[in-house]
Structure 1
């Protein structure tokens, strides 16, 4: 299995508009962070996790020209508003691109982008449109996508829930505030864990860096990667402060396991 981080930044991205801090001015390419998304590949199957606003540029940078399905974590704009970019993928498919996620997320996307999900909305001759087919998931109920078993995990994110995903040896969690016991039962045993880690200080809707380290210890994966990072944290400084089995991710990082 291969995991590629398309984007690892917070909703502002890094550099942040109008900011001249040291991280926003950093020449370390690992400090340039687009909004969070990832690709999971296994035996020819490709799953896209979220459709962040920079999706077109992210897929080009990762040399990805095809995906077989999309898994949405939640409806927030930094995780969904690149959805129109799937047109370049769906036009080459025989049928709409399958899209999985929480029911409320898929309903919200269908309201915001009806042309993607409504098969009755036909493009004019000589034009095209992105096409997606929604599959609502329930927490804890495993779905088979291709040859992979995917289990959604419900997690708190302020006033809404987000879905983390257990995909074979991978546990993927973003935008969560905590890992409840029910979620830990699904995530434990993973070889690789991905966790959001916002600030060094506490935040009402996201794990802090310290909370993410504690959560990683509770899951017990061989290797943990932190994502959803802000301009308050330089990659090199964070990497030097973390234990060897917990590392900050960066845009374009690929991990095989």
Structure 2
């Protein structure tokens, strides 16, 4: 199974519009971060976690030719805004794309994309099959997902464990019970927004402490903002086994 980081940036992406800081003007490709998302490719299924505003370009850049499903972590715009662009896959595959989301996210999808759910199906609109998920494990073909509930300030969102790989974005606090679901992961992906304190995201220091507490063989930070600093400066200073992820990075699990 291959994991590809389609995007590793925060809600504004990096560079940020109209910003002239050293990160936003960096020529290092690792400092160019689209909105956070990953691609999971197994032998029988191809799945994306979250389809943010950059979804179309992410599909083109990663040369994705087939998509079976999208799994959503939560309803914020930087995670759902690009779902309309599954239309290309509908046309090529001649069928609907499976959408996995909890009840709150499904309500948000109805608000954001009402035309998809109207009785009259306007020609060319996205075709989806909605699947309700919660805290119980579920399968998409051979890929088994174990939901992990974390808190994005006061908003509960879902991360997911797949085999020995755990993916969490937009976390600020995680209960001990949910940490127990993560323990034993060989690869952990967790958000690390910036160095300074933030109300709803792990800071760099908090993410490092979380990673060291969980003890995965390798930890990768994602959902990174321009206030983190340049990749070439931050990554070498991280503890052993902890890395900044970057767009296009591939992991084998």
Partner of 2:140: 145
Aligned 1:100-249 pairs, distance under 5 A: 100-118=100-118, 120-124=119-123, 128-139=124-135, 141-232=136-227, 233-249=229-245
Q: Taking structure 2 as the reference length, what is the TM-score of the superposition?
A: 0.95
Q: Distance in 2 between matches of 1:177 and 1:171?
A: 16
Pairwise CA distance, 1:132: 1.5
Structure 1: which 5+ runs fail to align?
Answer: none
Q: Secondary structure at the match of 1:203?
A: coil
Partner of 2:252: 256
CA contact (8 A) 1:184 1:218 kept: no
Pairwise CA distance, 1:17: 0.8
Task: Give per-residue Cα distances to partners, 1:163-185, cap 9 Å, x unaligned.
Answer: 00011121000001022112111
Aligned 1:18-33 pairs, distance under 5 A: 18-33=18-33
CA contact (8 A) 1:67 1:89 kept: yes
Q: Distance in 2 between matches of 1:206 and 1:36?
A: 13
CA contact (8 A) 2:220 2:242 kept: yes
Pairwise CA distance, 1:92: 2.8
Pairwise CA distance, 1:53: 0.4
Q: Distance in 2 between matches of 1:8 and 1:245?
A: 18
Q: Give the ranges of 4+ consecutive aligned residues of structure 1 lying more than 4 Å apart after TM superposition.
A: none
Pairwise CA distance, 1:203: 1.1
Q: CA RMSD in A?
A: 1.3
Q: Distance in 1 between matches of 2:222 and 2:196?
A: 16
Aligned residue pair count: 252
Q: Secondary structure at the match of 1:123?
A: coil
Q: Distance in 1 between matches of 2:86 and 2:174?
A: 31
Q: Taking structure 1 as the reference length, what is the TM-score of the superposition?
A: 0.94
Q: Secondary structure at the match of 2:59?
A: helix
Pairwise CA distance, 1:90: 2.1
CA contact (8 A) 1:117 1:134 kept: no
Task: Give per-residue Cα distances to partners, 1:32-69, cap 9 Å, x unaligned.
Answer: 11111110112232110000101111111111121111
CA contact (8 A) 2:44 2:141 kept: no
Pairwise CA distance, 1:117: 4.1
CA contact (8 A) 2:50 2:71 kept: yes
CA contact (8 A) 2:153 2:173 kept: no
CA contact (8 A) 1:11 1:35 kept: yes
